[in-house]
Amino acid sequence: MILISTVGIFINIKKDEAIKMAEKLIDYLKKNEIDYLVESRSADCLNEKEKKANFKELREKVDFVALFGGDGTLLRAARHFAGSDIPLLGINIGSLGFMTVIEVEAVEKAIDLILKNEFEIENRMMITAEVYRDNCEVYNGFGLNDVVINRGANFNLIGVELFINNQFVSSFKGDGLIVSTPTGSTAYSLSAGGPIIHPGLEVLVITPISPHNLYIRPLVIGGNDEVLADLEVAGSNMKISIDGRCGFDLRNGDQVKIKKAPHDVTLVKFPERNFYRILREKMRIGMI
Amino acid sequence: MILISTVGIFINIKKDEAIKMAEKLIDYLKKNEIDYLVESRSADCLNEKEKKANFKELREKVDFVALFGGDGTLLRAARHFAGSDIPLLGINIGSLGFMTVIEVEAVEKAIDLILKNEFEIENRMMITAEVYRDNCEVYNGFGLNDVVINRGANFNLIGVELFINNQFVSSFKGDGLIVSTPTGSTAYSLSAGGPIIHPGLEVLVITPISPHNLYIRPLVIGGNDEVLADLEVAGSNMKISIDGRCGFDLRNGDQVKIKKAPHDVTLVKFPERNFYRILREKMRIGMI
Amino acid sequence: MILISTVGIFINIKKDEAIKMAEKLIDYLKKNEIDYLVESRSADCLNEKEKKANFKELREKVDFVALFGGDGTLLRAARHFAGSDIPLLGINIGSLGFMTVIEVEAVEKAIDLILKNEFEIENRMMITAEVYRDNCEVYNGFGLNDVVINRGANFNLIGVELFINNQFVSSFKGDGLIVSTPTGSTAYSLSAGGPIIHPGLEVLVITPISPHNLYIRPLVIGGNDEVLADLEVAGSNMKISIDGRCGFDLRNGDQVKIKKAPHDVTLVKFPERNFYRILREKMRIGMI
Amino acid sequence: MILISTVGIFINIKKDEAIKMAEKLIDYLKKNEIDYLVESRSADCLNEKEKKANFKELREKVDFVALFGGDGTLLRAARHFAGSDIPLLGINIGSLGFMTVIEVEAVEKAIDLILKNEFEIENRMMITAEVYRDNCEVYNGFGLNDVVINRGANFNLIGVELFINNQFVSSFKGDGLIVSTPTGSTAYSLSAGGPIIHPGLEVLVITPISPHNLYIRPLVIGGNDEVLADLEVAGSNMKISIDGRCGFDLRNGDQVKIKKAPHDVTLVKFPERNFYRILREKMRIGMI
């Protein structure tokens, strides 16, 4: 059982609605005499200088984190709280989120349930990538959704030699390659033709982006399998990105190793907001 | 360690090459004084009346089974040896097989390795389906590849209400539905747009067949999840089939429960014939 | 300019709303002293015995036809009025139609515009199929949407050798084949992965159904090109159907010739109900 | 009838085989006393200073052009000879080409046939794009294959509002958009899920690249229809490219008009190298 003594707060500062909702939560916490800390930039926005804390401090001191934003906000938080066991509660501001499970109307009720310990958690696997150049690691990073290699503004195709657990799988040419966690399977991978994967599974999906080889298909492998992509490309501008951010420039001959990250992220889960219901609502509007 | 004292033999009797290869194996076994039993119909073909045994006897008496045929032959054998722990060795006659791992040239060498116990085995999950009509079970069956519900010669679409673990997922109309094991993911499911799944995983994939709802996508779920399809169809001719055989007529209002079968099948595995190599060879000829 | 002296009426007799709307139209026509004739079965439903006419009489005597139903009703009418130049006005009852361009609310206004000759027409190409067995024609038919060859309740794949204008294109195995007009491109062909084609074009699209050959793709050819499919199938139950009706049993070795029909069908077109708007509305609900 | 008095020669100077073949052709022309001119850079490579001519001179003086290279070489030549009626003969060096119709072995025979006027020609439609920024044209270009708008190295999605002949079609988000001629339908558009279109048709195909809206599908429109894409994108790096070259940087708010180019390109066509045969050979190796 997790005893909640300090609540962490992190918001998407670009969304007025997020600011407004976070202020309401702070009022509620004050009224109920529950301590809280606010992430630095969020604190500036909320005029909560005394409660300001950076991610490192939050990780040490809070018992759960309330996030106000969308899936993007949760992707950011996931990197900071990976491996901490601190449950993240995503409060959905704006468009429907896969990971942000609570709509704003239900925030206070949700906080009550969390304070009473009447909630479940779920662990989501994360993904990590390392780039090797001339046998030296030149980049590494990790994320919750996906690792994407794409040709960027380069109009030359990328050639990929794909290995799994050091076994050669296939070579193909195309715009690039997505390796996704189950959580990320409903993001870019789905747009590129990959399957939907229940977020509780421990698997990875490799989805080619616009492959010129017509027989190439998305491939689902085990959560402990290791993907190696040997990259060949004429010209420049090929990039690797994780969760849609921090592109690192790749070069001809680079090797990218992708596998399950050593740490999970922990999410608060409410039974009435199950994955299939969110999926159905997303699909009803035809937009992932 | 499995001590081999009796070899079972089962062949696709329509293939002359299978008969010829089985005869060579029998010569080899005789020469090496290894006992064997031959499946009834195969025995008739091979003139091995004294060694004739039905599947029940084979299950009780043999230590491993040599199959001469293609993936279809192995699908048949899988049903008879499911849950027995008896390893099946598929010897590939004709076109390249995913499950039949040994080419005819390598048979004697393979048998030697098996007799010396220098081989690995792998368990493959199987799948089971039950059909309920007015709350009574009217059909059940199991297989290694997939359960397919399709509209047959009926030109009316099938309406499916899909539930997983009793949670409503989605309703859609189309030609039907495939629920496949990882082993079956490279069969019909792939043709209908499903992903390739490594055969060692414990998952199921649900692949719609020509859905009219454009946002429906293949869905990968856990190996212990239970699929329920509530079927609605005007007109008749809708059928359920398992591993492409034994169609059972479905009716409007039928409920189909599909889940992992209680028993696995055991296959002999040789390291040099790994899944990705077979996949690559299959794709090279563009044909699954 | 078309002078309207007699209106034809044809309804989907299974839809109460269609009956009700047709009655309102008849009142309106009587009030405005415009003559009309009613298709036989529709006349029985509407108690219009004196105005009863079969399709042949309608073709001879009416100047335009008001259809009450959905796309299915228009598909039926299209076959009866093909080549007649009689414009068909589809009045949409129930779910949104691609071809039924007028919603019930707008019927009287539409009829007024038609009577005043303030409307446009558009011709839609139709498609025809002939089946040859041992060089004799054993079946022919035509339609507005598509010709579909599928394996029916047969669990054996169909093998197709495809020729266009007597040039060999490709052979493949799968569930079957759709050859569609532009009008039919948003029906079954779209579900099977075919492109959307503007209905004003003079082309055909060949869409394979769940092909086992992974490199096979939908193919768009000229409106005057002739498709020949040589069929090979083990077992029985393969069928050909046109516009989703009247399945004819095909056999191993049958040859199917598919091409543009000699006659078009003529539809009433209102500028505010253009194809892209209907498409967008259909897609908004994710259902074709 | 075209009387050939002067042959133009253009080669891919990076391919030794192209140089060797062109030298053989020149020997042959000399022996047969047929005049020729060589494109400037090709002439440098071939040591043909006296026969050196730029594209403008070639356009004025040659009766047909022999190209040694692949589809890329023909794409380049197409821009220079568009609208000239000068037939281009593509001689295939290296991998199989869709547009380069003659294999090297058959060059002399082909030249003979051309000189004897025993060949057919085919016109291929070309495509043009104009970019408007604040109502001013800031870029235009044309090509034979396709116009591609993509997000480049930008990890923000592109938002597209799509209009055809000023009618709103749909808005969607994704990696970008391909508008392709029939000739280009077997290039990038096919990789992104578009249909194959017979190169003789006068249509355009609009293929979205990894759209997030799951109901978006490739759309085939008339050859005289005009596509307008209103672009919205956060961040930078979005580009437009034609035939895979000369990327121009696009900005948020840019409007791109795409339509059939005013001029065609003329290709030499030999009956035994028809489109379906090339397609089949390409597909046999699974690579477009």
Neighbouring C-beta atoms of residue D277, cutoff 10 Å: 13
Judged by CB atoms closer than 8 Å, whether chains meet at A214 and D175 is answered as no
Shortest distance between the Cα of B99 and any Cα of chain C, in A, equals 17
Q: Write the CA distances from A130 to A150, A167, A261, integer angstroms.
A: 15, 18, 11
- The Cα–Cα gap between B267 and B74 comes to 10
B241 φ, ψ to 5°?
-140, 150
Strands D127-133 and D255-260, by their bridges, are antiparallel
Confidence of residue D97 (pLDDT cuts 50, 70, 90): confident
CB within 8 Å: D215 and B217 = no
Using the beta-carbon criterion (under 8 Å), do D217 and B214 form an inter-chain contact?
Answer: yes
C217: chain A residues, CB-CB within 8 Å: 214
Q: What is the pLDDT of residue D38?
A: 97
Distance CA A130, CA A138 (A): 8
Enumerate the residues of chain D whose CB falls inside 8 A of the CB of residue A211.
191
What pLDDT is recorded for position D94? Answer: 74
Q: Identify from B163, B197, B202, B207 which residue to disrupt to test chain A contact, counting A C-beta atoms within 10 A and taking the largest count.
A: B197
Cβ distance D221 to C203 less than 8 Å, yes or no, reads: no
Q: For A153-210, write each residue's pLDDT tens digit.
A: 666 789 999 999 999 999 999 999 999 999 999 999 999 999 999 999 999 999 999 9
Give the gap in angstroms from C-alpha A24 to the nearest C-alpha of chain D. 30
Query: pLDDT value at position D283?
Result: 75
C189 marked ligand binding residue: yes
- Cβ-based contacts of D280 with chain C (< 8 Å): 168-170
- Rounded to a whole number of angstroms, the distance from the CA of B169 to the nearest CA of chain A is 5
The whole-angstrom distance between D117's CA and the closest CA on chain C is 24
Q: Are C245 and C184 in contact (CB under 8 A)?
A: no
In this predicted structure, what is the pLDDT of residue A156?
79
Dmax (CA) for chain A in angstroms is 62
- Give residue for tokens 């290699």: A149
Output the six-digit token pair for B230. Answer: 């509530």
Q: Is the pLDDT of residue D286 over 70?
A: no
Contact C220 D203 (CB under 8 A): yes
Give the confidence band of A147 by pLDDT, cuts at 50, 70, 90: very high
Judged by a CB distance cut-off of 8 A, whether residue A214 touches chain C is yes
CA atoms within a 13 Å half-sphere pointing along the CA-CB vector of C273: 23
pLDDT of residue B115: 79
- Alpha-carbon distance of C228 to C162, in angstroms, equals 6
Report CB contact under 8 Å: D217, C197.
Answer: no
Complex ipTM, two decimals? Answer: 0.94
Contact C120, C274 (CB under 8 A): no
CA distance C112 to C100: 17
Backbone dihedral angles phi then psi of residue C194, each to the nearest 5 degrees: -75, 165
Position of tokens 């004897």? D116
Distance from CA of D216 to the nearest CA of B (A): 8
Across the interface, whether the CB atoms of B276 and A167 are under 8 A apart is answered yes
In angstroms, the separation between the Cα of residue C184 and the nearest Cα of chain A is: 22
List chain D residues with CB under 8 Å of B215: 214-215
C279 close to D (CB below 8 A)? yes
Domains and CATH numbers, chain D: 6-124+264-284 (3.40.50.10330), 127-260 (2.60.200.30)
Pairs of CB atoms within 8 A across A/D: 61
Rounded Cα distance, B39 and B26, in Å: 13
d(CA B181, CA B259): 10
**A164/B276 CB distance under 8 A:** yes
Task: Flag if B210 and C214 touch (Cβ within 8 Å).
Answer: no
Q: Are C144 and C61 spatial neighbours (Cβ–Cβ below 8 Å)?
A: no
Report yes or no: C214 at the B interface, CB cutoff 8 Å. Answer: yes
Closest to C215 (Cβ–Cβ): which among B153, B237, B286?
B286
Give the residue numbers of C marked as catalytic: 71
- The shortest C-alpha distance from B287 to chain D (Å) reads 10
- Say yes or no to pLDDT of A120 above 90: no
CA distance linking residue C288 with residue C279, whole number of Å: 8
Whether B271 has its CB under 8 Å from any CB of chain C: the answer is no
User: Residue D31, exposed/middle/buried by CB under 10 A (0-12, 13-18, 19+)?
Assistant: exposed
**Cβ contacts (< 8 Å) between D283 and chain A: which residues?**
214
For chain A, list the contacting chains (3+ Cβ pairs, <8 Å): B, C, D
Hey, is the C-beta of C121 within 8 angstroms of any chain D C-beta? no
Distance CA B267, CA B90 (A): 8
Asked if residues A112 and A32 have their Cβ atoms less than 8 Å apart, the reply is no
Q: D280 vs C215: CB contact, 8 Å cut-off?
A: no
CA distances from C48 to A145, C18, C107 (A): 65, 15, 20
Give the pLDDT confidence of A44-86 residue by residue, as tens digits. 999 999 999 999 999 999 999 999 998 889 999 999 999 999 9
* Distance from C-alpha of B256 to C-alpha of B240, rounded to nearest angstrom: 9
- For the annotated binding site of A for NAD(+), the residues are 71-72, 76, 145-146, 173, 175, 186-191
Report the SS3 class of residue C217. Answer: coil
Q: Where are the alpha helices (DSSP H) in chain C?
A: 16-31, 40-46, 55-61, 71-81, 107-115, 188-191, 275-284
**Element counts in chain B: helices (H) and strands (E):** 7, 21
Q: State how beta strands B255-260 and B227-233 pair.
A: antiparallel
What is the rounded average pLDDT for all residues in chain D?
A: 90
For chain A, the average pLDDT equals 90
Distance CA D140, CA D128 (A): 7
> How many residues are present in chain B?
288
For the stretch D181-197, pLDDT in tens is 999 999 999 999 999 99
What pLDDT is stored for residue B84 in this prediction?
Answer: 94
Question: Starting at the edge strand that comes first in sequence, how are the strands of the sheet with A176-180 ordered?
Answer: A245-249, A239-242, A146-150, A176-180, A203-209, A219-222, B196-197
Q: Which residues does residue C179 pair with via DSSP β-bridges, in sequence order?
A: C147, C206
- Residue D134 class from Cβ within 10 Å (0-12 exposed, 13-18 middle, 19+ buried)? exposed
Q: Do C220 and D200 touch (CB under 8 A)?
A: no
A247-282 pLDDT, tens digit each: 899 999 999 999 999 999 999 887 767 889 888 888
Chain C residues 215-254 with CB within 8 Å of chain D:
215-222, 225
Say how many C-beta atoms besides its own lie within 10 A of residue A281's C-beta. 11
- Quote the CA–CA distance of A230 and A163 in Å, as a whole number: 8
Of C215, C274, C277, Cβ closest to residue D283: C215
Residues of B within 8 A of D214 (CB-CB) are 214-215, 217
In whole angstroms, give the CA distance from residue B110 to residue B90. Answer: 11
Are D254 and D132 in contact, with CB atoms under 8 Å apart? yes
Pairwise CA distance, residues A242 & C32, whole Å? 70
Chain D, nearest residue to C198 by Cα: D221
Kindly identify which residue of chain C lies nearest to residue D200, measuring between CA atoms. C222
Quick one: average pLDDT of D41-46? 94
pLDDT (tens digit, 0 to 9) for every residue of chain B, 288 residues total?
556 789 999 999 999 989 998 999 999 899 988 999 999 999 999 999 999 999 999 999 999 999 999 888 999 999 999 999 999 998 888 777 777 767 767 777 888 888 788 888 999 999 999 999 999 999 999 999 999 999 876 667 899 999 999 999 999 999 999 999 999 999 999 999 999 999 999 999 999 999 988 889 999 999 999 999 999 876 667 899 999 886 899 999 999 999 999 999 999 887 767 889 888 888 766 555
B72 is known to lie in a ligand binding site = yes
C25 and C66 in contact (C-beta within 8 Å)? Answer: yes
**What per-residue confidence (pLDDT) applies to A151?**
86
Per-residue confidence (pLDDT) for residue D102, from 0 to 100? 73
Q: Assign A285 a pLDDT band (cuts: 50, 70, 90).
A: low
- Asked if A286 is an interface residue toward chain C (Cβ–Cβ < 8 A), one would say yes
- The Cα–Cα gap between D279 and D288 comes to 8
Strand A158-164 with A167-174, pairing: antiparallel
Using a CB-CB cut-off of 8 Å, the residues of chain B touching D279 are none
User: Given CB atoms, is B188 within the 8 Å cutoff of chain C?
Assistant: yes
Query: In this complex, do C286 and D215 lie within 8 Å of one another by their Cβ atoms?
Result: yes
Rounded to 5 degrees, what are φ and ψ at D88?
Answer: -105, 130
C-alpha D286/C-alpha A214 separation (Å) is 6
Residues in A touching D212 (Cβ below 8 Å): 191, 287-288
For C263, the 3-state DSSP assignment is: coil
Task: Provide, rounded to the nearest whole percent, the portion of chain A with pLDDT above 90.
Answer: 66
From D16, D35, D71, D112, the catalytic residue = D71
What is the structure's pLDDT at B272?
67
| Regions of chain C short of the pLDDT cut 70 | 1-3, 104, 153-155, 234-236, 246, 272, 284-288
Q: Which amino acid is at C104?
A: V
DSSP chain A: -----EEEEEE-TT-HHHHHHHHHHHHHHHHTT-EEEEEHHHHHHHT-GGGEE-HHHHHHH-SEEEEEE-HHHHHHHHHHHTTS-PPEEEEE-SS--SS--EEGGGHHHHHHHHHTT--EEEEE--EEEEEEETTEEEEEEEESSEEEEE-TT--SPEEEEEEETTEEEEEEEESEEEEE-TGGGGTHHHHTTPPEE-TTS-EEEEEEES-SBTT---EEEETT--EEEEEEESSS--EEEETTEEEEE--TT-EEEEEE-S--EEEEE-TTS-HHHHHHHHHHTTB-
Kind and range of the H or E element at B276? helix B275-284
Say which residues have a Cβ less than 8 Å from residue C112's Cβ, sequence separation at least 6.
none
Does C187 count as an annotated binding residue? Answer: yes
Taking the Cβ of residue C283 and every Cβ of chain A, the question of whether any pair is shorter than 8 Å is answered with yes
Query: What is the helix (H) or strand (E) element at residue D228, kind and residue range?
Result: strand D227-233
The pLDDT value recorded for residue C128 is 98
Percent of chain C with pLDDT over 70: 93
Is the separation of the CB atoms in C239 and C256 below 8 Å?
no
Angle at alpha carbon of residue C16, lines to C11 and C22, rounded to 5°? 45
Name the residues of A annotated as catalytic: 71
